[in-house]
């Protein structure tokens, strides 16, 4: 792993998209940014998606990641929620504009971060806190998921899965 390598992770959602930016350092990994992109419920869906696109582009332009991880849609019982999440993922994919992108399911993220694919959110957050040397648990959950996704990408760059474009 080259010191200074930066990855960006997105946990897509129309109302709240979480993000995390992680950088490899000589001492491991460091969270350099994280938060949420929120869109108001009263705004039209196209406007909300455009806001997500612009904020994602701003993050990409600010941090210059070598790659981006975006959470995959998992089977959901609510088809409407799944469709809104899929639309958000599409907007995030457009925002990457040629950067390498990797997709991870929630199960893959949990397995890479904790070693157990069915870990609870609190377990994942505790491992993120430990891995990134944070003083407290990463919150909100959407931001913690963004950080976990960025870490997954860095783990893959260090391991056997070094393909540049490995959209899973």
125 vs 146: CA distance, rounded Å: 11
* Segment holding 11, helix H or strand E: strand 6-11
Catalytic status, residue 58: no
Catalytic residue among 11, 33, 72, 156: 11
**Going from the N-terminus, what domains does the chain have, and what CATH number goes with each?**
6-158 (3.30.420.10)
Catalytic residue among 33, 55, 71, 156: 71
What average pLDDT does range 126-136 have in this prediction? Answer: 95
pLDDT of residue 79: 83
Q: In whole angstroms, how far apart are CA 166 and each of 11, 31, 103, 104, 128?
A: 18, 23, 8, 10, 23
Catalytic status, residue 142: yes
pLDDT at 63 over 50: yes
Catalytic status, residue 47: no
Q: Whole-prediction pTM value?
A: 0.92
Q: pLDDT per residue over 68-108, tens digit each?
A: 999 998 766 778 888 999 999 999 999 999 899 999 999 99
Q: In whole angstroms, how far apart are CA 49 and each of 6, 37, 75, 82, 98?
A: 25, 11, 22, 15, 19
Catalytic residue among 72, 142, 145, 156: 142
**Whether the Cβ atoms of residue 141 and residue 121 lie closer than 8 Å to each other:** yes
How many residues does the structure list for the chain? 168
pLDDT of residue 155: 93
Q: pLDDT per residue over 19-28, tens digit each?
A: 999 999 888 8
pLDDT of residue 165: 47
pLDDT of residue 76: 61
Phi, psi of 131 (to 5 degrees): -65, -35
Strands 16-25 and 101-104: unpaired
């Amino acid at each position: 792993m080259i010191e200074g390598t930066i990855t960006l992770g997105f946990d897509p959602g129309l109302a709240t998209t979480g993000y995390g930016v992680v950088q490899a350092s000589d001492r491991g990994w460091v969270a350099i940014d994280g938060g949420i992109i929120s869109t108001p419920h009263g705004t039209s869906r196209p406007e909300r998606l455009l806001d997500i696109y612009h904020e994602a582009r701003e993050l990409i332009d600010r941090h210059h990641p070598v790659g981006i991880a975006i959470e995959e849609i998992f089977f959901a019982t609510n088809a409407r929620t799944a469709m809104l999440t899929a639309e958000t993922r599409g907007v995030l994919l457009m925002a990457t504009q040629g950067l390498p992108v990797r997709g991870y399911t929630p199960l893959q993220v949990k397995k890479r971060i904790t070693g157990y694919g069915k870990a609870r959110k609190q377990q994942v957050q505790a491992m993120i806190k430990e891995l990134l040397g944070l003083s407290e648990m990463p919150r909100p959950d959407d931001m913690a998921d963004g950080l976990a996704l960025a870490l997954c990408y860095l783990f893959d760059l260090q391991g056997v899965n070094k393909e540049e474009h490995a959209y899973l």
